[in-house]
Amino acid sequence: MSESFDAIDRRIVNELQGGFPICERPYAEAAAGLGLDEDDLIARIGRLVADGRLSRFAPMFNAERLGGAVCLCGMAVPPDRFDAVAGQVNAHAEVAHNYAREHALNMWFVLASEDPARIETVAAQIEAETGLEVCRMPKLDEYYIGLRVEA
């Protein structure tokens, strides 16, 4: 991370998690609600993603309600292979996000697919590509934990 969140970045992250306008110019409407210019909002979001302070800025869909599936996965990746394996894992369109953990399973990621059968297919592909086991942890219950960036 190249820098910390300033007050405006914190407001952007905190405010936009609750919803994003669905209209002809959603960034303009969101920017107005934040007291910003549309171009400034777009640039700030771009910087937050580009420098890694946000992993992505995109809608979150409930895959199961849309007929798809999600699965939390974990892998025990040798530290000297971590970046290479992350690249292999992230190359799959079904990987919603991927992050390091201080745990025996030190790489965790979420597989999401429109087709429930793709979860197993992609997990098996990742195992074949990396030579490492993908521990599948299917969702039993759903909880939402929002990210709030404090001052």
- CB neighbourhood size of 21 (10 A): 15
User: Strand 69-75 vs strand 95-100: parallel, antiparallel, or unpaired?
Assistant: unpaired
**pLDDT value, residue 17:** 83
Provide mean pLDDT across the span 108-123: 94
Nearest to 36 by CA among 52, 58, 12, 60: 12
Provide mean pLDDT across the span 25-40: 96
Q: Which two tokens stand for residue 96?
A: 């919603």
**pLDDT value, residue 145:** 66
Ranges in the chain annotated CATH 3.30.70.3460: 69-138
**pLDDT value, residue 148:** 67
Tell me the one-letter amino acid at 33. G
Q: Which residue has the tokens 């199961």?
A: 64
Q: In the chain, what percentage of residues exceed pLDDT 70?
A: 90
Q: Is it the case that residue 137 has pLDDT exceeding 90?
A: yes
- The phi and psi torsions of 138 (rounded to 5 degrees) equal -65, 150
pTM for the structure as a whole: 0.62
Ranked by mean pLDDT, which of 16-20, 68-72, 82-86, 139-143 comes out on top? 82-86
Provide mean pLDDT across the span 108-116: 92
Domain 69-138 has CATH 3.40.630.30: no
Nearest to 75 by CA among 88, 62, 64: 88
Q: Which two tokens stand for residue 48?
A: 């937050």
Nearest to 123 by CA among 77, 148, 88: 88
Higher pLDDT, 98 or 106: 106
**pLDDT value, residue 1:** 40
Distance from C-alpha of 105 to C-alpha of 84, rounded to nearest angstrom: 16
